[in-house]
Amino acid sequence: MGAKGPRVAVTGAAGFIGRALVAHLRATGYPCRALVRNPPRNPMGEVVVSGALGPESELQGMLRDIDVLVHAAWRIPQRRSPGPQTPAQYCQETTETLANLARQAGRAGVRRLIFLSSIKVHGETSRPGKPFRPGDIPAPAQLYALAKCSAEQALREAAAEIGLEAVVIRPPLVYGPRVRGNFRTMMVWLMRGVPLPFGAIDNRRSLVALDNLIDLLTTCLAHPAAPSAVLLPADGAAVSTPHLLTVLGRALGCPARLPRIPVPILRLGGLALGRGGSFDRLCGSLEIDVAPARGQLDWMPPVDMESAVAATAAAFLSERASKR
């Protein structure tokens, strides 16, 4: 243990989650080493350039004097330009990368490895009244989720082999200041006043604010109940897509325009356009039972959803203003 807590290293430290985690750890007194693929543009304190992580990466020297490793790095499969790598090769490479990282961490004296996985290990959608729970049988439907699921198993096997404490966290959609992806797209739509035909949708989707995920990751650094745990974090009660858009539009000062188009028509439209997966992500349910994570670690999300959405929207508006 360091004087102010465990000494922590974070892979993917230049990413959306990794950068926020490193900043929080340093602000709260944790000795923290940032592992990044390329030299950062902005100062980040103690930084080690690891290059692209792979099955043959030599990382043991970078992990000496570290107590806990948080693995937030992950290579996303390229849908439009798959190149010579097949899906099976991608899955094998990402799985072997984590196994290699775990073994080298153990040899370097790291005590605990926290792996940032994905709720998609459980599947793309949850059934009504059946929120995902940690003990559910995995049902990954996409390559990304399949690779995460395979990597989780490789981590457990490597951890048992070398005596490393393994913690798996499966977050749903993570949002917060400087968020990208679908959440940012929704903000762009709302700012443009685009009518979004989701008013008739009655689904349940769990989200987790970046601040809440960072708080859970910090809790897992030294909590005695964290080893071997599979944790599913969320802000609280799941919300419908129309409710989320309404809250987000209010925070942006652009009321959401939500025509009530019957869901079967939306589904047919999505299928006709080859966007069935996008339809499921917007209109289907993906609900998490947060009770196990809260009970196991006595953890409560410190930020409520409306406050986190407001902070996300404020950062988005500030970014847009700075570019004018």
Residue 312 pLDDT level (bands cut at 50, 70, 90): very high
Distance CA 313, CA 179 (A): 10
Residue 163 has pLDDT above 50, yes or no: yes
Over residues 141-158, the pLDDT tens digits come to 999 999 999 999 999 999
User: Domain 8-170 falls in which CATH fold?
Assistant: Rossmann fold (3.40.50)
- Model pTM score: 0.93
193-198 contacts at long range (C-beta below 8 A, 24 or more positions apart): 193/254, 193/257, 194/257, 195/257, 195/258, 195/259, 196/245, 196/256, 196/257, 196/258, 196/259, 197/258, 197/259, 197/260, 197/261, 197/266, 198/241, 198/242, 198/245, 198/258, 198/261, 198/266, 198/282, 198/283
Q: What is the per-residue pLDDT for 269?
A: 74
So where are the chain's domains?
A: 8-170
Answer whether residue 1 shows pLDDT above 50. Answer: no
Residues 6+ apart with CB under 8 A from 282: 198, 201, 241
Interaxial angle between packed helices 305-322 and 241-252, expressed in degrees from 0 to 180 and rounded to the nearest 10: 50
State how far the Cα of 235 lies from the Cα of 306, in Å rounded to an integer.
10
The pLDDT of residue 84 = 56
In the set 30, 90, 144, 175, the catalytic residue is 144
The pLDDT of 73-82, averaged and rounded, is 72
90 included as an active-site residue: no
Model confidence at 2, pLDDT cuts 50, 70, 90, reads: very low
The mean of the pLDDT values for the chain is 91
8 A C-beta contact, residue 241 and residue 51:
no
Q: Which of 117, 107, 108 is nearest to 155 (CA)?
A: 117
Note the pLDDT of residue 277: 62
- pLDDT score recorded for residue 62: 94
What mean pLDDT do residues 70-94 have? 81
> What are the residues facing 116 on neighbouring strands?
169
pLDDT band at 263 (very low <50, low <70, confident <90, very high): confident
